Amino acid sequence: MTREAFVREMVKAMIFARLRKDPYYWEGYQRGLRRAYYGEIFGTEEEHNLWLALAEDEVDETRRERGRGYRDGLAV
């Protein structure tokens, strides 16, 4: 991911989060972007796996949205 793409996507995520458009999703998305851009120096492998697992949470919708956002942020 280029620096320009990282900044563009981060600004987009911050705007949507402030507009309260799925704020939990965009919180996860920002974290996923940081992991994608900075790699393993951002967070531990354990944290990375935890955030990925959140997308499958069947009980808590906010956790699921954070996980889905994280996964999508990684894929940019």
- How far is C-alpha 58 from the geometric centre of its chain's CA atoms? 19
pLDDT score of 29: 97
Report CA dihedral (71, 46, 12, 37) to the nearest 10 degrees: -100
Q: Tokens 């320009």 appear where?
A: 4
Q: Which residue in 19, 17, 12, 18 sits closest to 66, CA to CA?
A: 17
pLDDT at 2 over 90: yes
- Pair of tokens at residue 27: 């919180």
pTM to 2 decimals?
0.93
pLDDT tens across 19-76, in order? 987 899 999 999 999 999 999 999 999 999 999 999 999 999 999 999 999 999 999 8
